[in-house]
Amino acid sequence: IQRTVENTEALFKQLITLSEEHKNKLLPGYTHLQIAMPSSFGLWFGAYAESLTDDLELMLAAWKVCNKNPLGSAAGYGSSFPLNRTMTTELLGFDSLNYNVVYAQMGRGKTERILAQAMSSIAATLAKLSMDVTLFINQNFSFISFPDELTTGSSIMPHKKNPDVFELMRSRCNKIQALPNEIALMTTNLPSGYHRDLQLLKENLFPAFQSLNECLEMAVFMLQNISVKDDILKDEKYLYLFSVDAVNEQVLKGIPFREAYKNIGWDIDMGEFKAPEKVQHTHEGSIGNLCNNEISAAFKSTLSSFNFNKVEQAIQQLVSE
């Protein structure tokens, strides 16, 4: 979990850096995959940073479930030895313990499923980012590019520069999103108590951790080498992106919204539409006010709650004694 959190933090920092660096570069925004309204690279990169912030909240919840001491539950019914389970909890750096010995065993499968759900949330963010990249690098978009050495060619088409890294990342992350269901189906009809079925969970969980961390690390590497196109919205085909801004301009002058909507619609139909000269979005979380500082503060707040140092300090203390 710690490695995954650290890799998520690295990707978050890279996204925030790119968001700030390219915050003034406009980008088409889409709904229904149709041209809709102005966006920006600042918003696009920042959106994925904030998505990771929520993903980290889920991982923190999973960490809290995992970070409970099951020792002393033995086969699932406790022991006749006079154990001090609170002491072992403190010595090993757990946050708390699984109090009920039956639940300490019964929680197996459930704990892995909760963890898998947190992993799948990070994977979903990466899969969506990968899909965006494969679209934006396409020649019909051409919003971004990568060095030739980070793309792949074709065995028969010499012009091809394919985003294979992101295609593989997308597929890997979609596979990870299936992990909670895999674990649920492997454990769904088990009664309380220990069962050998639980041993098979490792075959699914540990490779998924490895794959997710590789995807996070590769995403950071690729984004360190991304190039962003300037002046995208100067292309005439993006003219109507500004139709809503034009409507709003009339509304701010006192024209009722429905009338303004009709006016701009008429201008578009007649080929007379003129876009506003500037995009003036100033509210929180918009093109002109990304709120990256607030997003970063939220991420750091969640990150600090993991308290991985507690486990490391406990290990060092045990070794030194």
Residue type for 197, please? D
Query: Is residue 14 scored above 90 in pLDDT?
Result: yes
pLDDT for 152 beyond 90: yes
Give pairs for 46-50: CB < 8 Å, separation 24+. 46/15, 46/16, 46/19, 46/290, 46/291, 46/292, 46/295, 48/15, 48/125, 48/128, 48/129, 49/12, 49/15, 49/16, 49/19, 49/292, 49/295, 49/296, 49/299, 50/295, 50/298
251-295 pLDDT per residue, tens: 999 999 999 999 999 999 999 999 987 888 999 999 999 999 999
Q: Please, are residues 44 and 23 in contact by the beta-carbon 8 Å criterion?
A: no
CA pair distance 205, 47, nearest whole angstrom: 28
- On the CB side of 41, CA atoms within 13 Å amount to 24
- So what's the pLDDT on residue 307? 87
What does the pLDDT look like over 155-210, one tens digit per residue? 899 899 999 999 999 999 999 999 999 999 999 999 999 999 999 999 999 999 99
pTM: 0.94
Structural fold of domain 2-17+44-231+296-320: Fumarase C; Chain A, domain 2 (1.20.200)
d(CA 73, CA 257): 67
Domain residue spans of the chain: 2-17+44-231+296-320
Q: In angstroms, rounded to a whole number, what is the distance separating the alpha carbons of residues 2 and 18?
A: 25
Cα distances (angstroms) measured from residue 193 to each of 75, 77, 78, 81: 8, 9, 12, 20
Q: What is the mean pLDDT of residues 216-244?
A: 96
Q: Which amino acid is at 63?
A: W
In this predicted model, what pLDDT tens digit does every residue of 265-276 receive, in sequence order? 999 999 999 998
